[in-house]
Structure 1
């Protein structure tokens, strides 16, 4: 599967929550099903106003939305501008300081710190404002309405991607990435297993110990802060399982079990241990920060790594601008054993534990919710994802959206993405997904007419060599899992399941680097010590909770 420049320029693959807010006072009210109401857009006030927006989910360049083309168009419609600030440093520390000091922006995207914000009652409920001002939000999220209310009946979270139809991802979510030049060097071999992957990397590193004057890095990993899942998630994937978080669910029994002490986790870590002993693993990556990781990938010296497309956007952009296809990456859904059906592609899902919230310090929550509601009008969704017809996309005589090679080249430029606004509006705001009413894809990177034109010459060589039309043709289709993903279930701060996850992560942060860097003949004994420590955690209580999530979702209940 491909990590073409366009896929990361426009949109990531994974889904998160959107929180929006209520009126100036903390008005509550129970959740109700969507009802028809008049669109207030025609009468809404246009007096210019600037709100503050903090995004704790991703690094970015601070800016005002009205400094971008898209943001200015939305300001012309609504009179609203957002001053955007992005996370620098530790997420929980930043949110903790905001909460303790009461210095809250108008709008916050808290990412994994959502429980911290909710427990502090830093967000206001949405119910009354949704009823009064948000007909477009209610229409878009109508199919998911019953899943959006919290235990008190209030809606605090509106998930980002309310999907209207499933559109296959033509790029990859999670994947084992490898340099195109490695594949070309050895005649584009078919890679299915982890062993084949590392064997190829080893051969190339031995043949080319240096790249562009620097030491060749065989394999890079990422463990920084909340991104530690990048190290742990490959284990179930390699065993033919999807990413459910801390558990996997048996397809026949529908029973959940933790992943942390299973043989497939051991096998994955033992492979990294072997790679380290052979000089293929970059030891520094076990302690590196995210920006250092991106710098390594951007250097062109890294041969392989596991990651998700949305996490490596900056590196991909840097490599694309460098113009050497051999140094860019493509990914494969590897498994331990040939014949195992991979499950890297996510089935259609609705994630409810991430989002954007309007805080208790917001100056005018009604105005903010009106702005969000205006964003999700279909014509504005097309604007935010596709841009302007005749400038950033075209329409053929059948009504299909496409982009010319010149438009694609323009959008590949990171400076254009920022100035136009694609890099700011392609995620972390209210949004739909899937298909528009006219059959075009919401996201250009899922529109075949765009994808085919976005391929570089190196991409085309690989497609031809592997007999593929698009790179995701190497992925198996996802199996239906009505409970998927378990990791998205809401957990209260201080609950047994939340404490288990924190203690488990602390334990793995302690043990996994030791296991990876250990002498190979010490690995088995150390794994036994780790498992003994792992089993001191309240595994049963966590599995009981996970199984309750699975059963509730099978029964159609919100979790």
Structure 2
């Protein structure tokens, strides 16, 4: 699950009111046909598998302890037993795979289904999750109305076969879809009299100055100019995108290509190898560790990285508020090769990122579960999932939900994300529509609002939509790409660290070609063409 944070200034109800039906404020168990279903709800208990989030895990054992879900239990009468895998991404994926291979399924699984081998349609065909089209049509008036009003959203959450597979997490506006990018210590730039870098060469000069001119002022050569790892590199190609490619598949004029075998990738590796040899890259980049990264940032060692708006710029501002009043981490533009060029690559999500709550074949009450999930897409659900509890975490002012000041400006050592996480999941994801009104408030600091504007500038024109292979293609594609991804990750580190000479790049490309990348590209090309016809 990709980590997330976001923005905005429109009414809290701008998305929800336009998207809700007349039953939107009703209880999750209420029938869309008033008066025709007066029986008590059958559903009283749900098992729900979902990855936890560090901001929540730091203060509660389960999402069941979150105020949003406590309130939803009061409203619906449904007690939810949340099942959380380990926070470690690899361990969580392993647990998910073991769960899907077994017959011991919970009622609901929230996951990034476009990453499932063969895509969500395969999960349906394998009898793991159920197709939701008819159930949504009959029992989910709120989501049904949303999808009717936004056919592009429906396209994104539908398989090539026409199946809706999950209740989706949706970003309701372009402004809430940008939340990640390069970040740099503005206070260090100011101290050294440097301008904000915009090109790769300018970045090199700034990082050299960070290493050599003691910007943290402690008289020790302990500065770490820059940190980026392969996981961050894969989030819409920060820095790599300066060469016009990404770390996976992309489209160029409708033609699918694979970034890590392009000639431009060699130029990127050559540059990163130079930076590494000169001590400009964090020596620990090969072994990503979020806690270690936090420590380096909050002990005044790290000069630049790529990070999130809320979970990075906002988080570190909160953690450093009393520790170092001069600390100022700000957004930097996505770099280009030549001054004045337009950035092509930058992080921008689609309305759907493929994450959603699917109902499994083990659920004995799918109709009632659909009604329970649909509540989040209605008017009252919009308020609950975005803002939490009226009077406790927000108040209504002039028709808008306004987060309480103590959430946005918590005590030193606590980030706004952690404070909000006591009440909602709105700072990362959940099956609901993220409101831009929430986001504008969450990005409370001027540097966060600036980050939104700066990181929104790339065109993102080469980004692939969330395509999926067919059931027949999926096994072949997964087999090819599992080996290729392992190899490309291994070689990325070797090339940058100098273990493998850059002169061997052509041999590396031939190796990936021998592993079947051309077949994988053909599968992606066919999937792109099917997506465009949805």
TM category, shorter: 0.7 to 0.9
The Cα of 1:537 is off from its aligned counterpart by 3.3
The Cα of 1:86 is off from its aligned counterpart by 3.0
Contact (CA 8 Å) 1:6, 1:408: kept in 2 or not? no
Q: Which runs of 5+ in 2 are unaligned?
A: 9-30
Contact (CA 8 Å) 1:58, 1:87: kept in 2 or not? no
Contact (CA 8 Å) 1:136, 1:374: kept in 2 or not? yes
CA separation of 1:297 and 1:50: change in aligned 2, threshold 3 A: farther
The Cα of 1:149 is off from its aligned counterpart by 4.0
Pick one of 156, 168, 192 that aligns with 1:159: 168
CA separation of 1:476 and 1:76: change in aligned 2, threshold 3 A: closer
Q: State how 1:280-319 maps to structure 2 within 5 Å.
A: 280-309=280-309, 312=312, 316=316, 319=319
User: What secondary structure is seen at the aligned counterpart in 2 of 1:349?
Assistant: coil
Which residue does the alignment assign to 2:249? 247
Contact (CA 8 Å) 2:311, 2:417: kept in 1 or not? no
Q: State how 1:84-233 maps to structure 2 within 5 Å.
A: 84-88=82-86, 89=88, 90-111=91-112, 114-115=116-117, 118-119=122-123, 120-142=126-148, 143=151, 144-145=153-154, 148-150=157-159, 153-161=162-170, 163=172, 166-169=173-176, 172-187=178-193, 189-208=195-214, 215-223=222-230, 227=231, 229-230=233-234, 233=237
Q: Distance in 2 between matches of 1:264 and 1:325?
A: 41
Q: Distance in 2 between matches of 1:315 and 1:534?
A: 39
Contact (CA 8 Å) 1:65, 1:82: kept in 2 or not? no
48-57 vs 137-146, greater mean Cα deviation: 48-57
Structure 2 residue 521 is the aligned partner of structure 1 residue 543 = yes
The Cα of 1:299 is off from its aligned counterpart by 4.1
Residue by residue over 1:99-151, the C-alpha shift from the partner in whole angstroms, topping out at 9 and shown as x without a partner, is: 34433222222336533884453212223422332111111223244554445
Contact (CA 8 Å) 1:109, 1:428: kept in 2 or not? no
Q: Distance in 1 between matches of 2:243 and 2:292?
A: 30
RMSD value over aligned CA atoms? 4.0
Contact (CA 8 Å) 2:191, 2:215: kept in 1 or not? no
User: What secondary structure is seen at the aligned counterpart in 2 of 1:306?
Assistant: strand
Q: State how 1:316-395 maps to structure 2 within 5 Å.
A: 316=316, 319-320=319-320, 324=324, 326-332=326-332, 333-344=334-345, 349-351=350-352, 353-389=354-390, 391-394=392-395
Residue by residue over 1:490-525, the C-alpha shift from the partner in whole angstroms, topping out at 9 and shown as x without a partner, is: 135744433343232111122111101117xx7431
Pick one of 33, 36, 41 that aligns with 1:38: 33
User: What secondary structure is seen at the aligned counterpart in 2 of 1:305?
Assistant: strand
User: What secondary structure is seen at the aligned counterpart in 1 of 2:137?
Assistant: helix
Structure 2 residue 466 is the aligned partner of structure 1 residue 488 = yes
Q: Distance in 2 between matches of 1:350 and 1:216?
A: 39
Structure 2 residue 507 is the aligned partner of structure 1 residue 529 = yes
CA separation of 1:517 and 1:40: change in aligned 2, threshold 3 A: farther
Q: How many residues align?
A: 489
Q: Distance in 1 between matches of 2:232 and 2:529?
A: 28
The Cα of 1:395 is off from its aligned counterpart by 5.1
Which residue does the alignment assign to 2:46? 51
Structure 2 residue 420 is the aligned partner of structure 1 residue 417 = yes
Residue by residue over 1:32-53, the C-alpha shift from the partner in whole angstroms, topping out at 9 and shown as x without a partner, is: xxxx953699957468834232
Residue by residue over 1:353-387, the C-alpha shift from the partner in whole angstroms, topping out at 9 and shown as x without a partner, is: 43322223335333322111111102321232134
Q: State how 1:423-442 maps to structure 2 within 5 Å.
A: 424-433=425-434, 441-442=435-436
Q: TM-score, normalised by structure 1?
A: 0.74
Which residue does the alignment assign to 1:238? 242
Which residue does the alignment assign to 2:23? none
Contact (CA 8 Å) 2:243, 2:337: kept in 1 or not? yes
Which residue does the alignment assign to 1:72? 70
The Cα of 1:273 is off from its aligned counterpart by 0.9
Contact (CA 8 Å) 1:54, 1:86: kept in 2 or not? yes
CA separation of 1:214 and 1:230: change in aligned 2, threshold 3 A: farther
Which residue does the alignment assign to 2:445? 455
Q: Which runs of 5+ in 1 are unaligned?
A: 9-35, 434-440, 464-468
Q: TM-score, normalised by structure 2?
A: 0.77
Which residue does the alignment assign to 1:32? none
CA separation of 1:266 and 1:126: change in aligned 2, threshold 3 A: same
The Cα of 1:74 is off from its aligned counterpart by 1.4
Q: Distance in 2 between matches of 1:214 and 1:86?
A: 42
Contact (CA 8 Å) 1:46, 1:77: kept in 2 or not? no
Residue by residue over 1:426-471, the C-alpha shift from the partner in whole angstroms, topping out at 9 and shown as x without a partner, is: 44422224xxxxxxx5452236xx64xx226xx4xxx9xxxxx733
The Cα of 1:531 is off from its aligned counterpart by 2.1
Q: Distance in 2 between matches of 1:123 and 1:280?
A: 47
Q: Distance in 1 between matches of 2:38 and 2:289?
A: 48
